[in-house]
Chains A and B, each alone.
Chain A
Amino acid sequence: MITAGTNEARTPVWSGLWSENPALVQLLGLCPLLAITTTVVYGFALGIATTAVLVFTNVAISSMRRSLVPIVRIPLFVLIIASLVTSVDLLTNAFLHELHEVLGLFIPLIITNCAILAQAETVASRRPVWVAAGSGLATGFGFCFVLVALGGLREIAGQGTLFAGTSLLIGGEDLLRLEMPFDGMLAAVLPPGAFFGLAILLAIRNLIVREREPARLPASEVPASAEERSS
């Protein structure tokens, strides 16, 4: 892992949000990331659900880290993640029913999001509860922010709207909905649009890293960091 920053306390937070962002750097959890981000609202909703699962898994695992037995740790992590995701699935179905209709399969699929297992393995099973909770929250927000950015990009380009469907989250009318002065092109909503959108975000991130933090990464890492890993 690349340890970013000199301030020890903010490291897990900073790394979750930016320097080790699950979606932009580790490229983990791409299946829901690419599939659900057709609008901002869907991206945000899945991001929040993932964040909730991340925080609770990290807290649960971190609080039992002293009695954790290495040979059974992976089954235990998966069991904890799976039961938390099932709860989130049932509760969204009950209390945010219309949103659940849209997100459908992708809530159960949070189980397969490697970013959560990676957090459990690298942070939660080694660090105190509050660090694990903070790291989970930061990683979740980092993931959520990419989902929202990609959702916004694809919603504007593909549908010609922004913030459509907020009523699914908070009820009432679609007050925030913005109409663009064009119709949008279909390709952005279809799967290829997701890949192009993610590529644009990755390129922007690489540009920022190159501009602002040239000293931190060796020259060879800058263009290659994305290719080395897969979800």
Chain B
Amino acid sequence: MDIRQGSAWRTLLLVGLVATGAAVLVTASHELSRERIAANERARLLASLNSVLDPRLQDRGLVPIRITATDRELLGTDEPVDVFVATEGGRPVAAILAPVAPDGYNAPIRLLVGVTPGGVLTGVRVLSHRETPGLGDLIELRKSGWILQFDGRSLEDPPYELWAVDRDDGAFDSITGATVTPRAVVKAVRNTLVYFERHREELFAAAARASEAEAAEAEE
């Protein structure tokens, strides 16, 4: 098939038509799915936040206020880390931090850590990780209950020195075949508790300010 006289315009027209059609298709599916995707993501975030809250708080439909915190040493990353504060009647009833365990086996492990205002853990979950399937991934709740042993613990229970896996003479179960992963998680949870103890008032004050700002914005 040769390129004949005048076919340049035909080509241009064809390309234009196809490009327009493609743009219409993508725009339409974007419009059709946008709200549902946003709702899905919100629901998923709330569900995962709920999963680390105290069971007594889970059914109250709390919408935690999101702030951020940065602490390279204790939260495991240079980036700002999400902190959610759930309040009821203006008083903080729980905080949820999303720290990083920087020393995972293959990559940093992202965690979600729920604590009471008094610094007692109400739940820990793994948000994302790249640990070895079948070994390190036992930190996921759907693979094993290992992660549940943090529930109810705090910096006093066990004492700070015992925040390690049993292989290192600590108080937490290790995982057979995976040494690095549980160490990284235990250390990150401990550091998160230390961070929370040091910055509790700051975090609650920041959340109160954020909540006021949100309320003011809503009124306008």
Contacts and interface: CB of A to CB of B under 8 A. Distances in A.
A82 B23 CA distance: 11
B14 A72 contact: yes
B37 A90 contact: yes
Given A80-B18, A86-B26, A190 B133 contact: yes
B176 interface: no
B36 A94 contact: yes
B133 A189 contact: yes
A76 B15 contact: yes
Interface stretch (B3-11, B54-62, B185-193, B199-207): B3-11
A70 B1 contact: yes
Given A83-B26, A84-B25, A94 B18 contact: no
B33 A69 contact: no
A90 B7 contact: no
Interface residues of A, number: 26
Nearest to B28: A87
B40 interface: yes
A105 B155 CA distance: 40
B18 A95 contact: no
B216 interface: no
A189 B36 CA distance: 32
A76 B18 contact: yes
Contacts of A86: 26, 29
Contact of B11 (A60, A71, A80): A71
Contacts of A206: none
B30 interface: yes
A64 interface: yes
Interface string B11-39: 10011001101110110111011101100
Contacts of A95: 33, 36
B40 A94 contact: yes
B134 interface: yes
Given A71-B11, A76-B14, A87 B133 contact: no
A97 B44 contact: yes
A96 to B, nearest CB: 10
Contacts of A71: 3, 11
Contacts of B3: 71
B25 A83 contact: yes
Q: Which of B7, B18, B26, B40 has the most CB of A within 10 A?
A: B18
Contacts of B18: 64, 76, 79-80
Given A80-B22, A190-B133, A91 B33 contact: yes
A167 interface: no
Nearest to B2: A70
Nearest to B38: A94
Given A67-B14, A80-B22, A186-B134, 6 more contacts: A71-B11, A80-B18, A83-B25, A83-B26, A90-B37, A95-B33
Top 9 A-B pairs, shortest CB-CB distance: A94-B33, A83-B22, A94-B36, A87-B29, A186-B134, A97-B40, A90-B33, A69-B11, A90-B29
21 contacts: A60-B21, A64-B14, A68-B14, A69-B14, A70-B1, A71-B3, A72-B11, A76-B14, A79-B18, A80-B18, A83-B25, A84-B25, A87-B28, A91-B29, A93-B37, A95-B36, A97-B44, A186-B134, A189-B133, A189-B134, A190-B133
